[in-house]
Amino acid sequence: EDQVTQSPEALRLQEGESSSLNCSYTVSGLRGLFWYRQDPGKGPEFLFTLYSAGEEKEKERLKATLTKKESFLHITAPKPEDSATYLCAVQFFSGGYNKLIFGAGTRLAVHP
């Protein structure tokens, strides 16, 4: 079954305490893996797209990496403004279309 699982469901960090969020997937024929950030009451905002194992992308305190079965979103020295829900989504080809499946997200809270 095509599935995307994110862990942990929730994460509480102190400001400056680095950590990683995990996104594991079981799909055939990965076309792309996406990370989004979602603030409360708002729509998701795009962060990264990764296409192949070994690929890495960075933006400020965030770095996304990809293997054949999972992706990590590393947060280095987080600040309170990094608090949000982080969503992972996987795109693959199915039934003649590119399908996109989202994970349930990881709620990150960074405390001063």
Query: Where does this chain bind other proteins (CB under 8 A)?
Result: 4, 9, 32, 34, 36, 41-46, 49, 87, 89, 91, 97, 99-100, 102-105
Nearest distance from residue 73's CB to other proteins, in Å?
A: 15
Nearest distance from residue 57's CB to other proteins, in Å?
A: 10
Nearest distance from residue 41's CB to other proteins, in Å?
A: 7
Please, which residue, 43 or 112, has the CB nearer to other proteins?
Answer: 43
Please, which residue, 46 or 112, has the CB nearer to other proteins?
Answer: 46
Please, which residue, 36 or 72, has the CB nearer to other proteins?
Answer: 36
Residues 6+ apart with CB under 8 A from 19: 11, 13, 74, 75, 78
Nearest distance from residue 95's CB to other proteins, in Å?
A: 9
Computed on alpha carbons and rounded to an integer, the radius of gyration of the chain in Å comes to 14
Picking from 34, 10, 32, 33, the residue whose alpha carbon sits closest to that of residue 21 is 10
Amino acid at 26: T
Pull the structure tokens for residue 79. 């600040």
Q: Is 82 helix (H, G, I), strand (E, B) or coil?
A: helix
Pull the structure tokens for residue 95. 């039934």
